[in-house]
Amino acid sequence: MDDLAWHSTGAMARRRLRAWIDRGIATLLFLAASSSVLITAGIVGILLVESARFFAHVSLGDFLTDTLWTPGFANARYGILPLVAGTLVTTGVALLVALPIGTIVAIYLSEFAPPRLREGVKPLLELLSAVPTVVYGYFALLFVTPLLQRVVPGLPSFSMLSAGLVMGIMIVPYVTSLSEDAMRAVPMILREGSFALGANRVVTSFRVVYPAALSGIASAYILGISRAIGETMIVAIAAGMQPNLTFNPLEPAETVTAYIVKVSLGDLPHGTIGYQSIFAAGLTLFLMTLGFNIVGYWLRKRFREAY
Amino acid sequence: MDPVQRVVLRRRRQDLAFKVLGIGCTLIGLVTLALLLADLAFDGLARINWQFVTSFPSRAAARAGVLSAWVGTLLVMLVTALVAVPLGVAAGVYLEEYAPKNRITTIIEINIANLAGVPSIIYGLMALGLFVYALGLGPSVVAGGLTLAVLILPIVIVATRESLRAVPPSIREAAYAMGATKWQVTWHHLLPCASAGIATGVIIGLSRAIGETAPLITIGALTFIAFLPPSPLQAQPPYLSFDWLKSPFMVLPIQMFNWLSRPTRDFHANAAATGIILVAITLALNSVAVAIRYRMRKRVKW
């Protein structure tokens, strides 16, 4: 190539420079993409290191089986169970609201609603998940709780019920959006087959479309569960900040997330056991969401249908 | 009535009943949203005035304002955008255009999908250990901005990838045919084509970041602050100052939380007013994103 008359050495040099620049940029882009792996490593590393320091003081057995969480007391006890119970109850209440409503809305929008209505309603519903959670906390504490107190006499001003209900409404669009996408991806031919056999829309939706889309719907449910477990501000504001080992949603209780917020609001010095305890709580939270995501991954694989 | 007709009638009724149920459930969501907005407006609209926007927080509810909170939110968002946008877009470009199909790419992809599901407070704990203590940034504007940048990074990456995927291969092929290098194709053709979609993702991400409270509380953002970070613009040379990056800060959602956790009604009104500002900002950002998406769909026809 070099001896071709029209190919000057200047053009060659420029071309080589361009190749170098290209390779440099490719490396930079790769580094940017790998930063996400670094973030994960950072999360896991920090949680493990600080938790390890925590577990040097508190035995893992006590942490998992003690029924008291009293870090502020002179005789401090660190049993995670009350906090986990708080998280599970608020999550349970939220899911009782979000999963049925979210699924019904998704089926309605995907199988029943006229397209124009669907296009109008979907962004409106998604606004529900755009509202900051601290605003939901306000709504739960100062609107929903007083309302519930009229129906449920003796309901305290902080309750897991109120926080869970509001959290459930917040999660509806997460469930709806993904489930609806999954159901709309089910090929028309399956519905047509069902209609041809004389089934109506309800039967087609529940017996044909829903099972066919189950893999996608499972991811929607798992996302909803992760949101509920990790939700912080609504429960910190409306469910109370006192550890309480109970499964009664009418009582106030502290969740794992609310504990982390409560400690962070105070002025805990770096390196104390109180400081380390929020990382142990965080690790618990991380493992809970990870557990549900692994279950979800397995469900997705199990129910995947290819067309 | 013959049995066939009866069955048909019953199935029609079933469909109708589910339609009513579906509309009812949709309304539950929409009515809740309306109630929430009405409740905020009812409690807080009276508190929104010039004094509220230009005053520091105070022990007297009527004299208190959100000045330090909105300035803090603005500065933190500036850092967040400056970090998350280049990093997220670069990562998205790499995964969509450059990445070879190998194990490292798969790991990065699975990792990003998992990051999107990590609770936001966990990011706060990571930032507390890493940014605040290990890197010694303290509970500062830059630590807060980095925390939220990390939090919205998956959103920006996914939006970038989806918009790049929507650019038809013919554009790439045409540019390569003219002798362009991979980066020239990306920079001159793909990114401009994908810019509207990327902008939508960035706006959605920022609107999420503005409302985030828990991770910033976790890194130790202040809940009461009666001064502003030093101004980035100076009267003397070199005219620019970066001291604000190291300043302590508070943000609008933390201000709202702080007022909400006090027992008196006056402070609750302040919380509601802050909530109105927050909701107005997030709804405005979301409408802009929807508008961009809508115009894009109308204008661009490949």
CB-based contact A124 B272, cutoff 8 Å:
no
User: Residue A303: which of A213, A179, A177 has the closest Cα?
Assistant: A213
Q: Which of B125, B251, B256 to mutate to test the interface with A (most CBs of A within 10 A)?
A: B125
Average pLDDT over residues A231-245: 91
List chain B residues with CB under 8 Å of A105. Answer: 22, 25-26, 29
pLDDT confidence of residue A100: 96
For residues B187 and B95, the answer to whether their CB atoms sit within 8 Å is no
pLDDT under 50 in chain B at which residues?
Answer: none
Work out the angle at residue A126's Cα, subtended by the Cα atoms of residues A208 and A141, and round it to the nearest 5 degrees.
Answer: 115
Q: H/E element holding B79?
A: helix B67-93
ipTM field:
0.90
CB-based contact B278 A128, cutoff 8 Å:
no
Q: Is it the case that residue A39 has pLDDT exceeding 60?
A: yes
B223 → closest Cβ in A223, A229, A265: A265
CB-based contact B286 A112, cutoff 8 Å:
no
Average pLDDT over residues A199-221: 92
Task: Retrieve residue B17's tokens.
Answer: 């009943």
List chain B residues with CB under 8 Å of A141. Answer: 260
Q: Is B107 on the interface with A (CB under 8 A)?
A: yes
User: Residue B157: which of A63, A29, A127, A28 has the closest Cα?
Assistant: A29
pLDDT confidence of residue A76: 81
Amino acid at B124: G
Q: Is it the case that residue A6 has pLDDT exceeding 80?
A: no
CB-based contact B218 A260, cutoff 8 Å:
yes
| Torsion angles phi and psi, residue A269, rounded to 5 | -70, 145
CB-based contact A133 B213, cutoff 8 Å:
yes
pLDDT confidence of residue B301: 57
pLDDT-above-70 percentage for chain A: 96
For residue A43, give the chain B residue with the closest CA.
Answer: B126
Q: Of A99 and A215, which is predicted with more confidence?
A: A99
CB-based contact B256 A46, cutoff 8 Å:
no
Domain residue ranges of chain A, discontinuous segments joined by + = 9-57, 81-303
Average pLDDT over residues A49-56: 92
pLDDT confidence of residue A1: 47
Q: In terms of DSSP H, where are the helices of chain A?
A: 9-57, 60-65, 81-107, 115-130, 133-139, 145-151, 160-184, 188-196, 201-203, 210-212, 214-230, 233-238, 256-265, 273-303
Average pLDDT over residues A256-282: 88
In CATH terms, the superfamily for domain A81-303 is: MetI-like (1.10.3720.10)
CB-based contact A39 B126, cutoff 8 Å:
yes
**What is the tens place of the pLDDT at every residue in B219-243?**
988 777 777 777 777 767 677 777 7
Q: Is it the case that residue A302 has pLDDT exceeding 90?
A: no
Burial class (CB in 10 A: 0-12, 13-18, 19+), B71: buried
